[in-house]
Amino acid sequence: MGKSDSTLIAIGGGELAQATEVLKELISLLKKKEDPRIVVVTVATNESKSASEKYNSLFRGHDVKHVETVDIEQRDDAFIESSLKKVRNADAIFFTGGDQLNVTTLLGGSPVHNLIHDKFHEGVIIAGTSAGAAMMSSSMITSGGSGNPPVVGGVEFAPGMNMVEGTVIDTHFSQRSRHGRLLTAVAHHPHALGLGIDERTAMMIRGNEFKVIGEGVVTVVDGSQMRYCDLPYRQKNDPIGMFGADIHVLPSGYRFNLKTREPIAPKLRTLAATGNED
């Protein structure tokens, strides 16, 4: 992770324009910069032109005057100066949805990737939705069925971009019933913290802590204290037995310490006041 004032926003998917609270937070952070510039990275999607037009219109509609696109269609695009210049001048970098494997294979280890990491350590905002959030984990889910129980080999993995160390991030979480596949991921990688983000919901990460914003929840699966898992004795596609994994469900306003693995609740009176609003 970057220094304490660096900000990473992992969004669980859905239309960003409809994620009112998440979009408001992102725009608010961006406008703290003087004459801010946002770069939209479309490497994850095969429909880069329409994605570029959509986010250009969205951000300019919120009075962000400088919106540029970096499209990495092949690895060579991540080496050219025009791409590097846009990233170098950015105050925020936004990754679209699509296929997270596109991000790691086309961008990973390239000059653009290295520059993005450098910019993050300098305090630039890094945000991403759906695949653009999933790629931030260290162990990245590349495929796996929804609505299934945890089973041996139920998900496939690849190394992620490791923006949030020691994690597996899943998106569209409640909407696509991905609880079983995140439990599967944690059974295979109990040292990694499983983070399931709902649509129109985000984790805003600063330092070792994240805050939940948006209309859904972030589900945390912590297998570090799991005392029993029968995965090594099962066959492929067999259901997995697990005892003692910790599960936390965090709505908007809740926080989580990634270092100590402890959830942090807001004051109950604050919750009551918010809940009474129409």
At position 110, the amino acid (one-letter code) is S
Residues classed as catalytic: 130, 172, 199
**CA-to-CA dists, residue 81 to 84, 115, 198, angstroms:** 5, 12, 36
- The model's pLDDT over 122-180, given as tens digits with 9 standing for 90+, comes to 889 999 999 999 999 999 999 888 888 999 989 999 999 999 999 999 999 999 999 99
Question: In which band, very low, low, confident or very high, does the pLDDT at 277 lie, cut at 50, 70 and 90?
Answer: very low
Largest CA distance in the chain: 58
**Percent of the chain at pLDDT exceeding 70:** 95
Question: Against a cut of 0.85, is the pTM above it?
Answer: yes
Question: In which band, very low, low, confident or very high, does the pLDDT at 274 lie, cut at 50, 70 and 90?
Answer: low
Identify whether the C-beta of residue 6 lies closer than 8 Å to the C-beta of residue 120.
yes
- The model's pLDDT over 240-266, given as tens digits with 9 standing for 90+, comes to 999 999 999 999 999 999 999 999 999
